[in-house]
Amino acid sequence: MRHTFLKTVSAVGALVVLGAGSAYAEKWDMPMAYSATNFHSATGAEFAKCITTGTGGEIEVVTHPSGSLFKGADIKRAIQTGQAPIGERLLSGHQNENAIFGIDSIPFLATSFDDAAKLWEAAKPTMTKILDDQNMVLLYAVPWPPQGLYFKKEVDSVADMKGVKFRSYNTATARLAELSGMLPVSIEAAEISQAFATGVADSMISSGATGYDRKVWESLTHFYEVDAWLPRNYVMVNKDAWNGTSEANRNVIRACAGLAEYAGTWRAVDYTQFTLRGLRDGGMEVGPASEQLTEDLRAIGETMTAEWLEKAGEEGRAIVEAYQAMK
């Protein structure tokens, strides 16, 4: 996949450079919340190289992973206000602004890569409009592997979760904690390892990729494959920066974005089983949730779905109906 992606990047660059007359080089800093080794960050780094090559150096995109330039929660605002021209953020991290941002985190609505792709297809036009109204242009979005539950102990039902300190990263995860009797603690991705090591949190819902990247087996013991949802990271650009770019360079960025979404999605698919094996090799117990826990979680999911639909209104209901019509 990497070889194919970079080969295509070179082809894009060769085609565009032939017609590009570089006036000056412009540097675009690209903040990202996750570690450089995370597959989203790796995809972002190749996307940045694609733009730099494709524009003949007119736009040099430099990635800043691990929240090193802006913390995850601050990235969207930084791009919206022009503090950074481009960046990546977890889509559902802004569900408190608009319920539509949480469309990919409705429990058990879309639990496979195929269904997540259909849901994104249904939601993308509305999401694009929302971001446009906020002075941003949506470039691409890549899913995480299915979300599972991490614990420091064996858990067979929601009753076993009561009082557990739970890492939350958006409105949906905080609500999940509340409905299951856990104690939500807001923790950014870059702080996960330290939070578990120091006892600030004892549990989280996330993909195998996050746990593998952060070596959570050093603190946690169990991972349950509940496939609750497949959240997305998205890359957006400040609209003023976008409008100030030549049409030729905008075409390059669009082409690179399409390649990145394709490559990133396949990375997510390939990475799913690889990371679950990695968790097992680290000493964690990895497997499906018990029937009781699954039943309990689905009941919570029904409550959260109803709450989301109420907050999202007709716009959200239309997205869900369009998605369900595709299935």
In a shared domain, residues 118 and 261: yes
Say if residues 49 and 39 touch (Cβ distance below 8 Å). no
Total number of domains in the chain: 2
Say if residues 222 and 153 touch (Cβ distance below 8 Å). yes
In a shared domain, residues 80 and 202: no
> What confidence score (pLDDT) does residue 189 get?
86
In a shared domain, residues 91 and 192: no
What is the Cα–Cα distance from 248 to 99, expressed in whole angstroms?
35
Polymer length in residues for the chain: 327
In a shared domain, residues 51 and 132: yes
In a shared domain, residues 140 and 41: yes
In a shared domain, residues 38 and 73: yes
Q: What are the pLDDT digits (tens) for 253-283?
A: 999 999 999 999 999 999 999 999 999 999 9
Domain with 164 in it: 148-228+282-326
> What confidence score (pLDDT) does residue 16 get?
44
Q: What are the pLDDT digits (tens) for 127-155?
A: 999 999 999 999 999 999 999 999 999 99
> What confidence score (pLDDT) does residue 18 get?
40
In a shared domain, residues 71 and 194: no
Per-residue pLDDT for the chain (327 aa), expressed as one digit of tens each?
A: 444 444 444 444 444 444 344 456 899 999 999 999 999 999 999 999 999 999 999 999 999 999 999 999 999 999 999 999 999 999 999 999 999 999 999 999 999 999 999 999 999 999 999 999 999 999 999 999 999 999 999 999 999 999 999 999 999 999 999 999 999 999 988 899 999 999 999 999 999 999 999 999 999 999 999 999 999 999 999 999 999 999 999 999 999 999 999 999 999 999 999 999 999 999 999 999 999 999 999 999 999 999 999 999 999 999 999 999 998
In a shared domain, residues 99 and 72: yes
CATH code assigned at 165: 3.40.190.170
| Residue 210 identity | T
> What confidence score (pLDDT) does residue 24 get?
63
**pTM of model > 0.85:** yes
Nearest to 237 by CA among 144, 124, 131: 131
In a shared domain, residues 198 and 78: no
> What confidence score (pLDDT) does residue 327 get?
84
In a shared domain, residues 15 and 42: yes
In a shared domain, residues 182 and 320: yes
